[in-house]
A = this chain, B = another copy of it.
Amino acid sequence: MSSSPASNVVDLVRLRRSCAQCSLHQLCLPAALDQTDLDTLDRIVRSRRPIRRGERLFEVGSPLQSLYVARDGAFKTSTLGEDGGAQVIAFHLPGELIGLDALGSDRHRCEAEALEPSTVCEVPFDQLQTIASGMPGLQQQLLRVIGRGMQNDHGHVGMMGRRQAIERIALFLMALSERYRNLGRPGDTFALPMTREDIGNYLGLVIETVSRGFSKLSEDGVIAVRGRQVRILQAGRLEEIAQPHDHG
């Protein structure tokens, strides 16, 4: 914990120029930027800020100040319906950008909450825009990341269009598995960072239906579940279940 002033300086330097060395290099904004551009970006990024479980990066209605990249941990973003009912819009794993919901109006339409102890890199948005106007590569990269986010939203809509609850749940697990694999973690064994309630809200199902779905998949030997610990035993069958099965 404690350290000499000299080592503090070293830490700071290392923190400041982390983008180039970051393990999430390819997932995050800096991908495809050259060394000079990376340095410029590094200068405005406040990296590895720790976030406690349950802490919020921003609230609904708060002005857009920064974009965030999950570094460790996991987040959810959700809109708050006027009657108090929330809708979970997305879950964010390391390397994924958070805060784009405010692009249209300069105010956040979502809140972002840490699901576990996490760290984020914080990118002040006005500074990002300033340096981006001189860096076409960064502009394009930003558009690309935004486009990925939109693809996720469309996938989300497609998932909720699915009729069967079990299909949605299977699809959810498949997608999560793939995301973990892309992070270099095992895709067949992982711990869910979110509650059943969060999952249900995300999928448009009540908590009991989610629980029953997990139990069913477990009974059928497709997955093994103990609380939030999940192991995918038969990826092929899970994929099969995730396909839309017409009732016709």
Is A169 located at the chain interface by the 8 A CB criterion?
no
> Known interface pairs A133-B139, A157-B157, A157-B160. Does A244 touch B150 (Cβ–Cβ under 8 Å)?
no
In the A-B complex, the 9 residue pairs with the closest CB atoms: A103-B147, A104-B147, A153-B153, A104-B148, A160-B160, A133-B136, A87-B158, A87-B161, A104-B151
Q: Given the complex, which residues of B lie within 8 Å of A105, measured CB to CB?
A: 147-148, 151
Interface core residue of A101, A102, A146 (most chain B CB under 10 Å): A146
Question: Knowing A161-B201, A204-B161 touch, does A154 contact B244 (C-beta < 8 A)?
Answer: no
With A150-B153, A160-B161, A161-B201 known, 4 other A-B pairs at CB within 8 A are A89-B154, A100-B150, A103-B150, A132-B139
Q: Which of A23-31, A78-86, A217-225, A227-235 contacts B (4 or more CB under 8 A)?
A: A78-86
Query: Cα distance A145–B150 when bound, in Å?
Result: 13
Question: Within A86-135, which residues are at the interface with B (CB < 8 Å)?
Answer: 87, 89, 100-105, 109-110, 129, 132-133
> Closest Cβ of chain B: how far from A203's Cβ, in Å?
9
Q: Which residues of B contact A216 (CB under 8 A)?
A: none
Q: Do the beta carbons of B104 and A144 come within 8 Å of each other?
A: yes
Task: Verify if A149 is at the interface (C-beta below 8 Å from B).
Answer: yes
B87 and A150 form a contact (CB under 8 A): no
Interface centre among A104, A133, A204 (most CB of B within 10 A): A104
Of A83, A145, A153, A154, most buried by chain B (CB within 10 Å of CB) is A154
Q: How many copies of the shown chain assemble into the complex?
A: 2
Chain B: CB-nearest residue to A148: B104
B139 touches A87 (CB 8 A): no
Within 8 A of B (CB), among A39-89: 79, 81-83, 85, 87, 89
Q: Within the assembled complex, what's the spacing in Å between the Cα atoms of A83 and B244?
A: 8
Closest chain B CB from A167 CB (angstroms): 11
A101 in contact with B150 (CB, 8 Å):
yes
Most chain B beta-carbon contacts within 10 A, residue among A133, A136, A148, A157: A157
Contact of A143 with B by CB under 8 A: yes
- CB of A18 to closest CB in B, whole Å: 25
Does any Cβ of B come within 8 Å of A243's Cβ? yes
Measured CB to CB, the closest approach of chain B to A144, in angstroms, equals: 6
